[in-house]
Structure 1
Amino acid sequence: MAQQHLDPTDPTAGAAVTGEALAGYLRTQATEFLRALRLHRENGTANGSEESVGAARALRRSARRISASLHTFRPLLDPAWSEEMRPELAWVSGTLALEHAYEGRLQRLLLALHRLSGATAFPGQPAPVEVAGVAGAGDAAAAVAAPSRAAGAARLGAAALENAGGPAHPPATPERGTLTVGAAKAGALLERQLTLARTRAHSTALQALGSSRFHAVADRVAVLASEVPLTPTAPATDLRPLAGAAEERLTDAIAALPLIVAGHPYNAEALIHGLSPDPSPHPQDGPWHQVRLLLRLHRYAREVLDADDCPVDVDLLTAGQALNRHRDASEAAAAAAQAARTPRIAPATAYALGVLHADQRHEVEAARFAFQQAWQKQTVGTP
């Protein structure tokens, strides 16, 4: 499909956006980083406090945008400074994100266990966020996938039972009673594992924020808030060709995705890894995670070009949300599979974890389908 691209040669595209706009954007993001850091220090290190969580989120947000801009527009910045700053900002963002990721993963898995075992939802369960005017493609895909979910869950339940040393041949379809018996213990096991991981991530984040490495990053960001190391030619250089290159990388990566497979209600290949002894990441997920990162770079490049007048592209936002759900579901499935490999767990517990793994892999497929639908709205023309 033909994609709408930024065309630096189009005389109707308006005045050129130069390196001065990039400098202003970086100064703004650096100021936001320093403001968030001050808020985080003022609110102490209380684990889970609303102010502390909000400040950490703002730190990650600014660090991601600065790092992305250094990547997309690196020819316009001092190369030594840029190559030194990017990995440090990625370290800050990644370290601060771990605690939130483990917390969200645990909530996702416990809610799924509740749903699969027929129990009522957790009190105060948040309703899904919808963007006005956007159809719930993920929900539609999940509904399409439902008829095949039982068969996939049964196969993975069998693998889990065999891994746990239990019977290798459970019934052809998962019995609600068997799942209910194992769901409580499966939930307790996941809670122990992920809470421990979250606690360790919290401690790691606190150590990182107090380290000399982080203070060095903060000092560089403070300098960036007033002085951006542009190259001599950057103030007169148009940013649109570099932003267009970022968009080209995104569209090339999307073109390589198996979008036709993503439209199927049941992708059997997505469950081959399942609960096998191999703990490596799922082979189908890597390209989708890469597209998610490239889409983020594209969005941030558009922010630089549009400055304060950046319009909200609902379809692009929906595509990004679908890829976020894809990542969350794939990581949750991996956590369920890892828990199922725990030695000497009860067969019913392993079976529940197998069903949970299959459920999350179906969520992965639903997210891929939702991304396909949203991205098609970004394109122009027909195949």
Structure 2
Amino acid sequence: MAQQHHDLTDSAAGPAAPPVTGEALAGYLRGQATEFLRALRLHRETGGGPSGSGGGTADAVDAARALRRSARRISASLHTFRPLLDPGWSEEIRPELAWLSGTLALEHACESRLDRLLLALHRLSGATTVPTQTGSNTGTSAGTAVSATAATTAATTATTTTTTQRTAPRPTPDRGNLTVGAAKAGALLDRQLTLARTRAHSTALQALGSSRFHAVADKVAVLASEVPLAPHAATTDPRPLAAAAEERLTDAVAALPLVTAGHPYNAEALIHGLSPDPAPHPQDAPWHQVRLLLRLHRYALEVLHGDDAPLGVRLLSAGQALDRHRDASEAAAAAAHAARTPRIAPATAYALGVLHADQRHEVEAARYAFQRSWQKQTIGTGTGTS
């Protein structure tokens, strides 16, 4: 296994190994551009109906996902290997691809977030059915104004026993009060996130019909046949640039509080997570950055090795843990946002507070899983480390 790893990272390992140059990047970009155009054609043929609704088909959802996938990979490759490309062209198209990928991801993110929160409510309340929109009011109560602080207090009360035990993975809510508020909390989340998903779908359709998108598609169409490489790219080895991307990832991971993440429960993080401040959780940003850098590292390996990219269990499990971290973090923020809805009933606020605390526990569990997978040294995982 050690020799195989050497072959993947050293072009001098044997006479059969061809030299790696900028042509590897050109071939990868042409392939991703072709996938982009194929997905765009399929998306137009299927009408691009909204995912998760009666107007959308599985083909339309798959096409949108393939568009995001190709746009992400092209944009990431332009970033990692930008010294090998025409700088003016690269800097012009890269932010446009990032805009497109982000716009297309919003609808799916809203749908996934709603599913996650409703399932968590179901689990926490012990209800026999998953909370859904009931068609009645969404938990408003005339004459009752419950602020985010009230929801925070409810969640803090619910988790008092667990904050004294670092190994406790979940809060212990009052089942009776939680069951009363879970249905209305689920209906409120359903209304808010369904509305957000509908808006995201409309935004995506407008984006795909805009002149801005057509300009991006035209550039990608040209990229499918001609990659604007820099003059020296044909004789330049791209592996040092890929190694630099891996080094940035390693440095970012080293800056994470992995000692704290080595415990399955971080009470300090929960205390900060229950703050009524609507700003994004300050502890999450470095982890989101590591997730981005891990993705750049993976895509760089794809450029060098194509379909044989050495993505070992260590990389895959670390990436899955960071995906869970992102999902739980955003779900907790959605629960906190719902708890700030004016004039909701106390039971609804309590359920949302417990739900928020539960998702912050999920954040800590994901950090723990990442720490366990990343620090596990496995020979021959093929992470690209030399």
Please say whether Structure 1 and Structure 2 have the same fold, judged by a TM-score greater than 0.5.
Answer: yes
Q: Give the corresponding residue for 1:149.
A: none
Deviation string 1:30-57 (CA, Å, 9 cap, x unpaired) is 0000000000000013222211110000
Summarize the Cα distance change of 1:54–1:8 in structure 2 as closer, same or farther, 3 Å threshold. Answer: closer
Worse-superposed segment, 324-333 or 362-371? 362-371
1:12 aligns with 2:13: yes
1:321 Cα offset (Å):
0.8
User: What is aligned with 1:371?
Assistant: 370
**Aligned counterpart for 1:106 among listed residues 89, 98, 114:** 114
Separation (CA, whole Å) in 2 of partners of 1:93 and 1:167: 35
Does the 8 Å CA contact 1:159/1:354 hold for their aligned counterparts? no
- The CA distance in 2 between the partners of 1:159 and 1:364, in whole Å, is 24
Shift of 1:343: 1.2
Aligned counterpart for 2:85 among listed residues 70, 74, 77: 77
| SS at 2:341 equivalent | coil
Distance in 2 between residues matched to 1:6 and 1:247, nearest whole Å: 18
Change (3 A) 1:250 1:161: closer
CA separation of 1:212 and 1:167: change in aligned 2, threshold 3 A: closer
State TM-score, norm by structure 1: 0.84
Structure 1 residue 164: deviation in Å?
A: 9.0
Alpha-carbon deviations, 1:114-154, whole Å to 9, x = none?
0000124659xxxxxxxxxxxxxxxxxxxxxxxxxxxxxxx
- 2:127 counterpart (119, 133, 144): 119
Name which of 46, 68, 73 aligns with 1:60: 68
Change (3 A) 1:19 1:170: closer
Show the 5 A alignment for 1:156-235. Answer: 162=150, 174-235=173-234
TM normalised by structure 2 equals 0.83
C-alpha contact 1:246 1:294 (8 A) present in aligned 2: yes
The DSSP-based 3-state class of the residue aligned with 1:11 is: coil
Residue matched to 2:47: 44
Query: Once structures 1 and 2 are overlaid, which stretch shifts more, 169-178 or 62-71?
Result: 169-178
* Matching residue within 97, 100, 106 for 1:92: 100
Kindly provide the amino acid, as one letter, of the partner of residue 103 in structure 2: T
Matches within 5 A, 1:135-150: none
Of 19, 29, 35, which residue of structure 1 is paired with 2:38?
35
Change (3 A) 1:171 1:122: closer
Amino acid paired to 2:27: G
SS at the partner of 2:173? coil
Distance 2:83 2:275 in 1: 45
Q: Alignment identity in percent?
A: 78
Q: Structure 1 pair 65/165, CA: closer, same or farther in 2 (3 Å)?
A: closer
Q: Deviations over 1:274-330 (max 9, x none)?
A: 343311110110000000000000000000111232244222111111100100000
Counterpart contact for 1:159–1:275, Cα < 8 Å? no
The aligned counterpart of 1:133 is none
Which residue number in structure 2 is paired with residue 258 of structure 1?
257
Q: How does 1:319-358 map onto structure 2 within 5 Å?
A: 319-358=318-357
Shift of 1:267: 0.8
Q: CA deviation at 1:176?
A: 0.4
User: Which one-letter code corresponds to 2:13 in the other structure?
Assistant: T
- In 2, are the aligned partners of 1:165 and 1:347 still within 8 Å (CA)? no
